[in-house]
Structure 1
Amino acid sequence: MQQIVAMGGGGFSMEPDNLLLDRFIFSLVPHSHPKVLLLPTASGDSADMIDLFHDCIGRQLQARTAVLRLTKERYDNLEDIMLSADIIYVTGGHTTYMLDAWKLYGVDRLLRQAWERGTMLAGVSSGSACWFQEALTDSNPEGLSPEPCLSLLEGSHCAHYENTGRRPAFHSAIDKGKIMPGYGVENFVGMYFKGTVLQGAYASREGYNAYKVGPGGHGIEESTIPCTYLGDLLHKNS
């Protein structure tokens, strides 16, 4: 089963003391101790990010952890590493740099192959935007701008949607035809897709949402995607 959890912000890298989104991801795979492969390319393979990953995902959630350090190491067995993971988890950071590095080493192709074989794909910020056809990113020093992505999921994506300037910039880009309609996703919210179909939105904090954004009868319109608070859901299912 093809699955993606795309988080506008949150997860262990933003909320190391609130791992509800990460626990939700774990609940979607049939393993009590899944093998989780971190791709911290967008962060420049940040040592602090990697240490936090091993602590939160490895020690606290008791997963088997591995890290692909594309900026630090060279690999002869990339296919074996990536296709042996139960979950591939992508960090935030510089979207353009990440996508360029992935293309250079063939990681983009292997991500699609892993997804088609049933590996859970997840990520936050850049690691959320990358799965869509396009994303509004801040990788360009001139400001927020569209970026072509991996096209596993249809439409566009704007992470950190409630942050200053992002909502109006996304609306403007869609209105001017610079980016296709898509999703605005606030921090602490993850959208869950089976195949390419959105199943719902889930939040690690109450009061945060995701939105479907596109042209309407009165300019750009957004519709709220019903969001489930994970504190209630995971407690109920535990």
Structure 2
Amino acid sequence: MSDVPPRRLALLGGGFSTEEDGLLDDWILGHARTPRPQVCFLPTASGDAPAYAERFLAAFGPRPSCVPSVLSLFGRTLDDPALRAFLLAQDVVYVGGGNTANLLAVWRVHGVDRLLREAYDRGTLLCGISAGANCWAEASHTDSFGPLTALSDGLGLLPGSVCPHYDSEPGRRPSYHAAVAGGALPAGWALDDGTGALFTDGLPTEAVTRAPGARVYRVEPDEAGDGVHERALPSRDLRAAPEGGR
């Protein structure tokens, strides 16, 4: 039996910042490696907005099933060894939304990109919404620079590209289709709001939804080379009777 833990990350189309039912957050906690996981929120993409951190703590603090914390890099207090020790001690790292390009730049200045790769290899579950979903892939569809565009940058832990807000923001779907069809972005994963997708060692292992009709999609260039093939992943409805997450 191998002692190497599975490397897992989850893309979220919702959670505490957009929904009140907590279904997607409960789903994440159900996949943590311990019964009472340490869960760290990184609000870097929002510039460490205090209200965002407060909302996370208000949602996760009352849960007896986890130990929440927030890591601020704009007001950083930990030196390099302490920062590494803190991040590697987390069972779940939850990344918030905001500006994907800014997020990646700040992480690299502080070495957080390298630490998250190390945590991932050690079995920490990485997850996030919007920019916090984009960051894990090789590339993403983002409005970091204003208009929707292809960003050929990311941590590269998930092969391909990611497009969040697939069904809720005007222009997302056609713009992502055009980017994938034209080669500006590699094939990838598109998330409707209210969904989640779990990947293990880079492969999809579960998709879930908490909203009627919301799905996670695989989007690839079609064989003709002038369009895309879009396929919805089979999804488990989190509003139905719960299943064991472990």
- TM-score of the aligned structures, taking structure 2 as reference length: 0.91
Contact residue 148 and residue 172 of structure 2 kept, 8 A: no
Of 123, 143, 146 in structure 2, the residue corresponding to residue 118 of structure 1 is: 123
Q: In the aligned structure 1, how far is the partner of 2:64 from the partner of 2:157?
A: 28
The equivalent residue for 1:177 is 183
The equivalent residue for 2:192 is 186
1:63, CA displacement in angstroms? 1.9
1:237, CA displacement in angstroms? 4.5
- TM superposition outliers: structure 1 runs of 4+ over 4 Å: none
SS in 2 for 1:70: coil
1:18, CA displacement in angstroms? 1.2
1:233, CA displacement in angstroms? 4.6
The equivalent residue for 1:10 is 14
Q: In the aligned structure 2, how far is the partner of 1:154 from the partner of 1:58?
A: 33
Name the CA shift for 1:96/1:233 in 2 (closer, same or farther; >3 Å): farther
1:168, CA displacement in angstroms? 0.5
The equivalent residue for 1:161 is 166
The equivalent residue for 2:148 is 143
> Is 2:30 aligned against 1:33?
no
Aligned pair count?
235
CA deviation digits over 1:93-142, x for unaligned, max 9?
01000000001110000000000000111111111111111001100124
Contact residue 141 and residue 148 of structure 2 kept, 8 A: no
Give the fraction of aligned pairs with identical amino acids, expressed as a percent: 35
The equivalent residue for 1:101 is 106
**5+ residue gaps in structure 2?**
1-5
Contact residue 92 and residue 127 of structure 1 kept, 8 A: yes
Q: 2:137 is aligned with what amino acid?
A: F
- TM-score of the aligned structures, taking structure 1 as reference length: 0.94
Name the CA shift for 1:63/1:229 in 2 (closer, same or farther; >3 Å): same
Greater shift, 110-119 or 47-56, is seen at 47-56
Q: In the aligned structure 2, how far is the partner of 1:114 from the partner of 1:44?
A: 23
- Root-mean-square deviation (CA, aligned residues, Å) is 1.5
> Is 2:51 aligned against 1:43?
no
Q: In the aligned structure 2, how far is the partner of 1:95 from the partner of 1:237?
A: 33
Q: 2:57 is aligned with what amino acid?
A: H
Contact residue 18 and residue 204 of structure 1 kept, 8 A: no
Q: 1:169 is aligned with what amino acid?
A: S
Q: 1:39 is aligned with what amino acid?
A: L
CA deviation digits over 1:141-196, x for unaligned, max 9?
24333241000011101000112100000011112211111111111111111111
The equivalent residue for 2:3 is none
Of 224, 228, 233 in structure 1, the residue corresponding to residue 232 of structure 2 is: 224
**5+ residue gaps in structure 1?**
none
SS in 1 for 2:90: coil
Of 44, 48, 68 in structure 2, the residue corresponding to residue 65 of structure 1 is: 68
Q: In the aligned structure 2, how far is the partner of 1:205 from the partner of 1:48?
A: 26
SS in 1 for 2:61: helix
Q: In the aligned structure 2, how far is the partner of 1:230 from the partner of 1:61?
A: 21
Contact residue 96 and residue 147 of structure 1 kept, 8 A: no
SS in 2 for 1:184: strand
The equivalent residue for 2:210 is 204
Q: In the aligned structure 1, how far is the partner of 2:220 from the partner of 2:136?
A: 19
Contact residue 91 and residue 125 of structure 2 kept, 8 A: yes
Name the CA shift for 1:99/1:233 in 2 (closer, same or farther; >3 Å): farther
Q: 2:183 is aligned with what amino acid?
A: G
Where is the helix percentage greater, Structure 1 or Structure 2? 1
> Is 2:221 aligned against 1:215?
yes
